Amino acid sequence: MQLIKSFRGLRPIRELAEKVASHPYDVLNREEAFALAKDNPHSFLHINKPEVDIDPAVSVYDPRVYAKGRENLDRFVAEGTLRRDEKDTLYVYRQVMGEHTQTGLVAIASVDAYEADLIKKHEFTRPDKEDDRVNHMDALDAQVGPVFVTYAAQAKVNALIEQVTRAAPEYDFAAEDGTHHTFWTIADEALTEDLEAAINGLDCIYVADGHHRSAAASRVRALYEDRNPDHKGDESYNYFLVVLFPHDQMQILDYNRIIKDLNGQSSSEFLGALSAKFEVETVSDAASANPTGAQQFGLYLEKQWYRLHLNAAAAAAIDATDPVNSLDVSIMQNTILGPLLDIQDQRTDKRVDFVGGIRGLAELEKRVDSGEWQAAIALYPTSIESLMAIADAGEVMPPKSTWFEPKLKSGLVVHVLD
């Protein structure tokens, strides 16, 4: 079954690409998005977070918000900010963040392959978040946020992509956070066909980030199919926008936790309870507490950092062959959050929140020192190999197990649902 194919992208004109490119819709709150978009009429935030142009009293899920997104998309096209490519093609997108470089292939992926689990998932989705993306895609007749996809690295694919990157890029700019973004279109039809064949020859690919967008694309396909009495299966709504990266170029950062309270325990009681499963060491600063390997955690409590290391007896009880329960996020849940703090479901319990590793451990200190939260737990990053093993096993990772960096810019290419 076909996994991906080329498409006619809707893209910014070259001179406006840097102004158009924006953060993904789900990494900014409304106020942050408004601040970034208010002085930039070309920002793609007007399309992927159209609430920036709506009265703040109006819910972000109000139909008027989605309608505004469509209005703004139409305006970008009418003004010539975005133009549609004349023929189907693939694109290459490179990101450089510090010492890390990742180069991905931009394509559209088959909803049929997604529903057949040839595009594998590793997370549950929330209905309200899915509904939001369904309403956004349906209002815009477009998918504007690419799904972040990975695959087992292939030397042949690397060589083909390297051919593309020898040419002059279409876009090349540094974002406000210092991350560098370079984007190529592939004019060579034979090279496009070779890349399609190489990816379509894989057994499967994996959703890394974007489970709500991919699940919503499946629902949107069903909606459009019902509306189309001449449905054939090759319409653009049978596909969704993706950027595919080889697994060995993926960068996953830690995804840390902050805790509202200690479930009625004093700090000394909590530390004592931890010592049943962990070697607890008082350390001088965050750098000393930062985990350097699996089965290690940092704890920040009452302005003091601690280093936690699973003791030998607790470690021996972990089934290393279980791809889910051997994850550090599962160990944290099963040894700390559940039994000691009575946080049974991180997805719904308001006594726990999540802080992406890009913000650093200083953010954990800040949140706890504010008095709103009582403790913080720092984790070692989940590996991409663990993610793939869990997806291969048909299992689901605990919530907020991975934080991918750098994030894909939105607005560099749009998939139109004709």
Which among 4, 211, 209 has a CA at the least distance from the CA of 109?
4
Is 307 within 8 Å of 289 (Cβ atoms)? yes
Q: 125: pLDDT confidence band, cut at 50, 70 and 90?
A: confident
pTM of the predicted protein model? 0.91
Residue 124 has pLDDT above 90, yes or no: no
Is the distance from CB of 72 to CB of 22 less than 8 angstroms? Answer: no
How many structural domains does the chain have?
Answer: 2
Residue 28 — very low, low, confident or very high, per pLDDT cuts 50/70/90? confident
Alpha-helical segments (H) within 230-320: 267-274, 286-289, 312-316
Q: What angle (nearest 5°) sits at the alpha carbon of residue 255, between those of residues 252 and 260?
A: 175
Per-residue pLDDT at 398 exceeds 90: no
Same domain, 291 and 235: no
Q: How far apart are CA 417 and CA 216, in angstroms?
A: 13
Q: Flag whether pLDDT at 204 surpasses 90.
A: yes
- We report the CATH number of the domain holding residue 305 as 3.30.1760
Same domain, 353 and 283: yes
Residues 33, 78, single domain; the answer is yes
Instruction: Please tell me whether residues 343 and 311 are part of one structural domain.
Output: yes
Range of weakest confidence among 118-127, 196-205, 225-234, 371-380: 118-127
Does the pLDDT at position 362 exceed 90? yes
In whole angstroms, what separates CA 77 from the centre of its chain? 27
End-to-end CA distance of the chain: 23
Please check whether residue 396 lies inside any domain of the structure: no
> Would you call 307 helix, strand, or coil by DSSP?
strand
Any domain includes 392: no
* Residue 242 included in any domain: yes
Residue 177 has pLDDT above 90, yes or no: no
Task: Check whether 384 has a pLDDT greater than 90.
Answer: yes
Residues 92 and 105 both lie in one domain: yes
pLDDT at res. 100: 96
Q: Is residue 394 part of a domain?
A: no
Residue 398 domain-assigned? no
What percent of the chain has pLDDT above 70? 100
| 406: preceding bond cis by omega (within 30 degrees) | yes
Domain co-membership, 354 together with 302: yes
CB atoms inside a 10 Å sphere around CB 167: 13
In this prediction, residue 72 carries a pLDDT of 98
How much is the pLDDT for 126? 84
Residue 89 lies in a domain: yes
Q: Which residue has the tokens 């010492």?
A: 99
Please state, as a whole number, how many other Cβ atoms lie within 10 Å of the Cβ of residue 364.
25
The pLDDT value recorded for residue 347 is 83
pLDDT of residue 106: 98
User: In which band, very low, low, confident or very high, does the pLDDT at 399 lie, cut at 50, 70 and 90?
Assistant: confident
Query: Tokens representing 364?
Result: 């954990």
For residue 207, the enclosing domain spans: 4-251+406-416
Q: Which residues pair with 7 in a beta bridge?
A: 89
Confidence of residue 26 (pLDDT cuts 50, 70, 90): confident
Rounded to whole angstroms, the Cα distance separating 413 from 311 reads 49
Domain shared by 259 and 358, yes or no = yes
Cβ(413)–Cβ(140) below 8 Å: no
**390 domain-assigned:** no
Residue 397 lies in a domain: no
Task: Tell me: do 205 and 234 sit in the same domain.
Answer: yes
DSSP string, 53-76: GS-TTS-TTSHHHHHHHHHHHHHH
pLDDT at res. 296: 97
Kindly report, residue by residue over 35-56, the tens digit of the pLDDT: 999 999 999 999 999 999 999 9
Q: pLDDT: is 176 or 62 the higher one?
A: 62
Nearest of 277, 116, 145 to residue 211 by alpha carbon:
145
pLDDT digits (tens, 9 = 90+) for 299-312: 999 999 999 999 99
Q: What is the DSSP string of 196-255?
A: HHHHHTSS-EEEEE-HHHHHHHHHHHHHHHHH-TT--S-SGGGEEEEEEEEGGG--EE-E
Q: Are residues 228 and 247 in the same domain?
A: yes
pLDDT per residue as tens digits for the range 312-347? 999 999 998 999 999 999 999 999 999 999 999 998
Q: Are residues 106 and 177 in the same domain?
A: yes
Band (252; pLDDT cuts 50, 70, 90): very high
44-47 long-range contacts, CB within 8 A, separation 24+ = 44/20, 44/144, 44/410, 44/411, 46/72, 46/76, 47/72, 47/73, 47/76, 47/140, 47/144, 47/411
Confidence of residue 110 (pLDDT cuts 50, 70, 90): very high
Do 81 and 3 touch, CB atoms closer than 8 A?
A: no
Same domain, 102 and 206: yes
- The reply to whether 358 and 411 lie within a common domain is no
Reduced DSSP (H G I as helix, E B as strand, rest coil) percent helix, strand, coil of the chain, to 5: 35, 25, 40
Average predicted confidence (pLDDT) for the chain:
96
- Name the amino acid, one letter, at 330: S
